[in-house]
Amino acid sequence: MIRLANGKLITRDPDGTGYLPDGGVVTDGGKIVAVGTTAELAERYPEAEFVDARGGVIMPGLINAHTHIYSALARGLSIDGYNPTNFYEVLDGQWWYIDRNLDLAATRASARALVIDSIKQGVTTIFDHHASFCQIPGSLMEIANVTRDMGMRACLCYEVSDRDGEEKALQSVRENKDFIDYCEANPSEMLKAMFGGHALFTISDKTFDRMAAANAGRAGYHIHVSEGMNDVYDSLQNYGRRPVQRLQDHGILGPKTILGHCIHVSTAEMELIKATDTMCVNNPESNMGNAVGISPVLQLYKQGILIGLGTDAYTNDMLESIKVALCSQRHNVCLPGVGWCEVTDMLFKNNAKMAARCGFPELGVLRAGAAADVIVMDYKPFTPFSDANIDGHMLFGMTGRQCQTTMINGKVLMKDRQLTEIDEEAVNAEILEVSRKLWGRLNRREY
């Protein structure tokens, strides 16, 4: 039993106390058992181990609804001859080139790097969309072993694609099926499975049919949709349907399916997404960095579509991502007074709703019975502070690097900025050695 208290408590509980200027939580067995003032909790649970928030902001852990572990070892990388002029060249010249060289050792190192960075920035749940076409079989279990050993809550899938031929496509379908089988046989509140797909312009009708047959309606799909216009052009020219219509044709849409990006979707497609109760996720920094456009979040939101926030691994800092989400939506429509409720709902409400649909316990709120995923931010406000204006403080005052303590499933993984369950120096050294070998393969030279 742990008593994490002595901080400014933000619960995000619409049915309970939203803010306590000096409060905390008590956790036991991976769940929150009590929320209250620091004094009340000390009196009721004197035997609990005390974790001092040191006056910081205690709040629910953050959720990243779309990321890519396979890109973790690309930080600082320069690939010889890589000078993209369009989105396809970004994919083929960098990301596909990397994943074609990513073996199981590199996949494991990538997972360890991303999980450590996420813990240090207050992210307690990740939805990962993996690709390692160098070595597909067993890659999801490599990641699952890392997330289990490091204490991260994760939903995993493998991106099916025809881009490297039929045999690799068949292996990627099998990898999803095998991992879904594993999660069904070994149910866990820490690990979930989806069925991944890259983008429609790299997936044939035959492969979609194979995906649907292998999944057999068991899990939702996690797939990139209309991130670039090439997705739209390919669907129209080769199939006579827009991308979302193609997904509907193959039974991909539904309340457990996540559509990543959704930048170039039509009004009719939005209506189809809503009619099937399918989820979407926005990745603002990645979209702007790849120059593919800005997702029509405001229109999707007006349709009543459940839309969450991810990073596409451009960053692991969800607070950085929400800042860009707000600015990009305002810039896109040339209106300075829009987007506030939409983007804050995406991160602080909708991501938790998406997690619930995928079978996770109650996340995103601090109250009795909810999952004990709790973070403490080292933030000393110099203006009035409460649950009435917390989002303003987060958008304009906080960054992920201000996280000082991270608890996932009732286990303190970082305390006062020190990782408690991981020898960071040793792990970083191992990751660096793997990344040097990977970079050497990519540029055919030593690092």
Partnered with residue 258 across adjacent β-strands are 222, 279
pLDDT at 310: 98
Listed residue (111, 163, 164, 113) closest to 141, CA to CA: 111
Tokens linked to 153: 């809550």
Q: Which amino acid is at 17?
A: T
pLDDT at 235: 97
Contact 312, 390 (CB under 8 A): no
pLDDT at 446: 64
pLDDT at 338: 97
Contact 302, 333 (CB under 8 A): no
**153/144 Cα distance (integer angstroms):** 10
- pLDDT averaged over 10-residue windows placed end to end, the chain, 447 residues: 98 96 97 98 98 98 98 96 95 96 98 98 98 98 98 98 98 98 98 98 98 98 97 97 98 98 98 98 97 97 98 98 98 96 97 98 98 98 95 97 98 98 96 97 80
pLDDT at 444: 84
Report field, pTM of the whole predicted structure over 0.95: yes
Any idea what the Cα angle at residue 64 is, between residues 63 and 66, rounded to 5°?
Answer: 145
Q: Give the C-alpha distances (Å, rounded to integers) separating 52 from 3, 96, 188, 202, 390.
A: 8, 45, 29, 50, 21
Backbone phi, psi, residue 259, to 5°: -105, 115
DSSP state letters, 86-137:
SHHHHIIIIIHHHHTT--HHHHHHHHHHHHHHHHHTTEEEEEEEE--TTS-T
pLDDT at 447: 62
